[in-house]
């Protein structure tokens, strides 16, 4: 499958805090569960104790429809880019890339973009996830919720 076939989505938000503070928040994977509507918790594994290229972590996730749990699963991710104050990226299960890009703004705020890229599912399962459940849209909404939680936390 070519990279052209990947599904890509992103969400952007301005947070009224310096890039270093925003970066520290988004790269602290142990707090993802507090901010994400889908990820319940994350923890560093294989001797990692913080973000660095090559560090691995596991995450517990749950997809819900209202109060009903549809699916629970655990993933393993590896940090693939770590540039303090600018870029934090990890790949989940070897095929889904999550990325946070930060851009300082002159007024001391930070524009942060969270993005995801993944291959579309195949066959009936792919049709179900992409078309019936509209997975790309739910991911976008989840990213906006996550960034909104970071914003609320950092801006007080």
**pLDDT tens across 73-108, in order?**
999 999 999 999 999 999 999 999 999 999 999 999
**Dihedral sign (CA 18, 43, 118, 142):** negative
Residue 150 belongs to domain with CATH number: 3.30.530.20
- Tokens for 108, please give them: 């001391």
Q: How many domains does the chain have?
A: 1
Q: What is the pTM of this model?
A: 0.89
Three-state SS for 151?
helix
4-31: pLDDT as tens digits: 588 899 999 999 999 999 999 999 999 9
User: What does the alpha-carbon distance between residue 139 and residue 153 come to, in Å, rounded to a whole number?
Assistant: 21
Strand ranges across the sheet with 68-83: 7-15, 110-118, 96-104, 87-92, 68-83, 56-65, 39-45
Domain limits at 68?
3-155
Three-state SS for 67?
coil
């Amino acid at each position: 499958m070519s990279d052209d076939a990947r599904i890509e989505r992103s969400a952007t938000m301005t947070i009224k805090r310096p890039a270093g503070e925003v970066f520290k928040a988004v790269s602290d994977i142990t707090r993802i569960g507090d901010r994400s509507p889908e990820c319940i918790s994350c923890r560093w594994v294989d001797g990692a104790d913080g973000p660095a290229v090559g560090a691995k972590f596991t995450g517990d996730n749950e997809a819900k429809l209202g109060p009903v749990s549809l699916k629970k699963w655990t993933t393993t991710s590896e940090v693939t880019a770590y540039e303090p104050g600018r870029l934090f990226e990890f790949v989940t299960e070897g095929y889904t890339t999550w990325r946070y890009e930060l851009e300082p703004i002159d007024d001391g705020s930070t524009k942060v973009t969270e993005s995801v890229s993944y291959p579309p599912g195949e066959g009936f399962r792919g049709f179900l996830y992409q078309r019936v459940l509209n997975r790309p849209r739910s991911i976008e909404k989840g990213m906006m919720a996550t960034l909104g939680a970071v914003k609320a936390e950092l801006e007080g």
